[in-house]
Amino acid sequence: MLLTTELVRQLENTNVTVNAVHPGFVQSNITIWHSLSKYLGLGISPEKGANSALFCAQSSQLKGISGKFFDSQTQEIPLPKIATDIHLAKQLWERSLLWSGCQKTTTNDTINYDNYSGISGPYSLKLDSQEIAQITKTIFAEILPKPPGKLLFLRLLKFLWKLKFGSAFLLLVQIWKQEFHMERHLDSPEIWKICQDEKLLAKLQEYLGEKLVLWRSELWVNYPAKQLIPLWHTDSYPKLLSGVGKTINIYIALTEVNKFNGFEFIPNIHKSNNLSIKMTDPFSGNDFLEVTEKLAENSVPVILKPGQFVMFTDELIHRSVCNTSGKIRLSLTLRVTQPTVEVLPNYNPNYQQSVLL
């Protein structure tokens, strides 16, 4: 009914009319109760249930009549007040576009992150959009769904042996969902191609110097409407390192990243010094921070086209927004450091050791 209200508004100056119908209780098969109703002598037949819809579609009586509501006897009934709320109708319309993937989420406004401390970009890979599209296709078809069974099993045993129940639980979730995002993909030539991208390496070398150590990487798949980490946090990865040297993280968009599916951050310039820790995530070790609404108002979304990337530091306060773009988001995060920095022995990379880029 809300969509009727919105469609009436949108089609105002056309010959198209839009009306809502209540078919009555129809002996259809949409729930078990509907299916049973036939045997209990309740409701009306599907043929009779089509009556009001057919009336609206065919009757000349309704020429030019729009925004009304008819019952199964084709009698007009008043629309409930809430169904005529144009603001609510508009909201539902916009959300429906998002949920169904019809919303044009691409915005032409590129944000230049150089103005903020903590994140810089966007930069473009040397790989062009067609190459990226091809790589993305291969990732979905071949890389993400294939867990190396034996390694998984050994890994699970190791976690249990070491009483790392959080890690074991996460691994079981991954096995159950058949989604493997972490690190096991560097053996794939497709992903390796991205890691070796000339422009990417040049940017990294500008910051870290000649020798680049890739010590961790994550392939992230964010399915529509599934939430990632909605709490503001800084990543705990530096805790896994020791030694003196710089670190940097690269976030590469393989599909479009926008304000409906990506992550947002608080530019360092807006950060107040003493943000208290609300809690620590038992799984990732990330500190969730107490961020006031006022501070959160300064947050900036990361918006990238496929093949674009940003660089960000470990101190970046960020959170992942829910994916309401209607489309799957795929991204690759590379965590890179200098050879003077060591990965602590208590950190077990899933399937890969650090590699020199």
Q: Which residues bind Fe ion (CB under 5 A)?
A: 235
Query: Taking the complex as a whole, how short is the minimal distance between the CB of residue 320 and Fe ion, in angstroms?
Result: 7
For residue 130, what are the contacts with CB-CB under 8 A and spacing of at least 6? Answer: none
Q: Find the distance separating the first CA and the last CA of the chain, reported in whole Å.
A: 57
Q: Are strands 300-301 and 213-222 parallel, antiparallel or unpaired?
A: unpaired
Q: What is the spatial distance between Cα 247 and Cα 336, in angstroms, rounded to a whole number?
A: 6
Query: Taking the complex as a whole, how short is the minimal distance between the CB of residue 9 and Fe ion, in angstroms?
Result: 41
The smaller minimum CB distance to Fe ion, of residues 123 and 263, is found at: 263
The smaller minimum CB distance to Fe ion, of residues 98 and 321, is found at: 321
The SS3 assignment for 182 reads: strand
Query: Taking the complex as a whole, how short is the minimal distance between the CB of residue 180 and Fe ion, in angstroms?
Result: 18
The smaller minimum CB distance to Fe ion, of residues 70 and 215, is found at: 215
AA identity, residue 173: V
The smaller minimum CB distance to Fe ion, of residues 67 and 121, is found at: 121
The smaller minimum CB distance to Fe ion, of residues 4 and 249, is found at: 249
Q: Which residue do the tokens 């294939």 mark?
A: 146
Q: What is the spatial distance between Cα 335 and Cα 312, in angstroms, rounded to a whole number?
A: 10
Query: Taking the complex as a whole, how short is the minimal distance between the CB of residue 284 and Fe ion, in angstroms?
Result: 8
Query: Taking the complex as a whole, how short is the minimal distance between the CB of residue 263 and Fe ion, in angstroms?
Result: 7
Burial class (CB in 10 A: 0-12, 13-18, 19+), 145: exposed
The smaller minimum CB distance to Fe ion, of residues 220 and 351, is found at: 220
Strand order in the sheet with 355-356: 119-124, 308-312, 247-253, 329-337, 213-222, 355-356
Query: Taking the complex as a whole, how short is the minimal distance between the CB of residue 333 and Fe ion, in angstroms?
Result: 9
Query: Taking the complex as a whole, how short is the minimal distance between the CB of residue 318 and Fe ion, in angstroms?
Result: 6
The smaller minimum CB distance to Fe ion, of residues 197 and 235, is found at: 235
Position closest to Fe ion via CB: 235
DSSP 242-282: ESS--EEEEEEESS-B-TTTSEEEE-GGG--S-PPEEEE-T
The smaller minimum CB distance to Fe ion, of residues 235 and 256, is found at: 235
Q: Which helix (H) or strand (E) holds 173?
A: helix 165-177
Both structure tokens of 301: 């979304």
Query: Taking the complex as a whole, how short is the minimal distance between the CB of residue 52 and Fe ion, in angstroms?
Result: 52
Q: Which residue do the tokens 């479009």 mark?
A: 256
The smaller minimum CB distance to Fe ion, of residues 188 and 236, is found at: 236
Q: Which residue do the tokens 């190396």 mark?
A: 148
Query: Taking the complex as a whole, how short is the minimal distance between the CB of residue 233 and Fe ion, in angstroms?
Result: 6
Is the peptide bond preceding residue 339 cis, with omega within 30 degrees of 0?
A: no
Q: How far is residue 156 from each of residues 143, 144, 161, measured CA to CA in Å?
A: 20, 19, 9
- C-beta neighbour count of 176 within 10 angstroms: 8
Q: Which helix (H) or strand (E) holds 176?
A: helix 165-177
